[in-house]
Amino acid sequence: MAAPVEVRSQDGSFMKMLVYDNNYFMSFFVGNIKDHLADIEQMEVRDDDTFVLTYPKSGTHWAYTLSSMLRTGETTYHGSPTFLDFTNMETINNLPSPRVLASHLTFNFMPRQIKEGKGKVVSMLRNPKDVASSMYTFAKKLDHPDYQARYQLSWEGLLELYLGGRVPSGTWFEYIQAWDRVKRDHKGNNIIHLIYEDMKQDLGSNVRDLAVFLGASCEQDFLDKVTENCTFKSMSTDSANLTPSEQWMNVTNNKILPIYRKGEVGDWKNYFTVAQNEHFDKVYKEKMKTSSFNFRFQ
Ligand code: A3P
């Protein structure tokens, strides 16, 4: 059974989450966690399903919007994805095809059929310093009393909890190590890794690669339109004109999806002190020494 926990940093910052089987989950994870994880494991995957897997604040909405436009052929912005983690199985089963679902769970929690090669997985990864500053500013933006009762964080406090893995989804490092294991062991060719920093550098060629991977139309006019509609500017403008879902309304009072902030590489420099950065670099070097993933920080 999942149990509610309150984790605290040395300076008294805190987060309320759920803990199950030594893993931290967001407090709005469905049901008692155990049963929902079992439902996900057994879920019937469709050939044209896409699962967008991300560590929080790594560009979930970006990868979802791109995948969704490519899969459906429609280039309109639709806001937030349906998360496997936060949606009951009946709703997921009733979604029309092609489904593009998101999750902050690691690949090992995914449906058995995906592991057997059915459906497609779009993984999106981002350097851990920008993830940390995005997580911090996101938590600060949540202006609903319910949420304020769940998260109270200073930057120092967030960094301490983040490095210690006492945040939803655990440590970024373990998340990457889990992908390294999948790279080594998974037999199928139904996984693509998108890297946030590469997408910022050249969105067009990443859109083409993703289109090929998803078996979508590769007509240049279509790809150009998708690229144009998935820039930070375009997505943040579109999102400001869209009323967020009820789930989001529960965490914000201003009716604007609190996702689009700066959308840059290197904004972490505005948050890390020199000492915090030196410490982080040391941890990164140690934890990533056997990883096949490499991240740029600017
Ligand atoms: P910042 O807070 O650094 O601006 P997620 O969707 O996983 O919650 O990730 C949110 C982060 O992705 C935010 O980062 C957001 O601005 C960024 N993002 C969303 N869409 C983007 C886009 N089209 N281009 C670049 N960054 C984007």
Per the domain annotation, does 29 fall within a domain? yes
Mean pLDDT by 10 residues, the chain (298 residues): 92 93 91 96 98 98 98 96 96 98 98 98 98 94 76 94 95 98 96 98 98 98 98 95 80 81 97 98 97 97
Give the pLDDT confidence score for residue 151 in this predicted structure.
83
Per the domain annotation, does 292 fall within a domain? no
- 3-state DSSP call for residue 178? helix
- 3-state DSSP call for residue 22? coil
* Sign of the alpha-carbon dihedral angle for 19, 279, 57, 254: positive
Give the pLDDT confidence score for residue 147 in this predicted structure.
74
CATH number at residue 266: 3.40.50.300
Which residues does residue 8 pair with via DSSP β-bridges, in sequence order? 14
Tell me the pairing of strands 151-152 and 14-20. Answer: antiparallel
Per the domain annotation, does 294 fall within a domain? no
Catalytic annotation, pick one of 78, 104, 144, 186: 104
Per the domain annotation, does 238 fall within a domain? yes
Give the pLDDT confidence score for residue 141 in this predicted structure.
83
Give the pLDDT confidence score for residue 116 in this predicted structure.
97
Per the domain annotation, does 295 fall within a domain? no
Is 104 one of the annotated active-site residues of the chain?
yes
Per the domain annotation, does 154 fall within a domain? yes
**Binding site membership of 137 for ligand 1 (Cβ less than 6 Å):** yes
Per the structure, the complete domain to which residue 111 belongs is given by 3-287
Q: What is the pTM of this model?
A: 0.97
- Number of structural domains, the chain? 1
* Residue that is written with structure tokens 């709005």 in the block: 28
Per the domain annotation, does 293 fall within a domain? no
Per the domain annotation, does 256 fall within a domain? yes
**Binding site membership of 262 for ligand 1 (Cβ less than 6 Å):** yes
Give the pLDDT confidence score for residue 278 in this predicted structure.
98
Residue type, 122: V
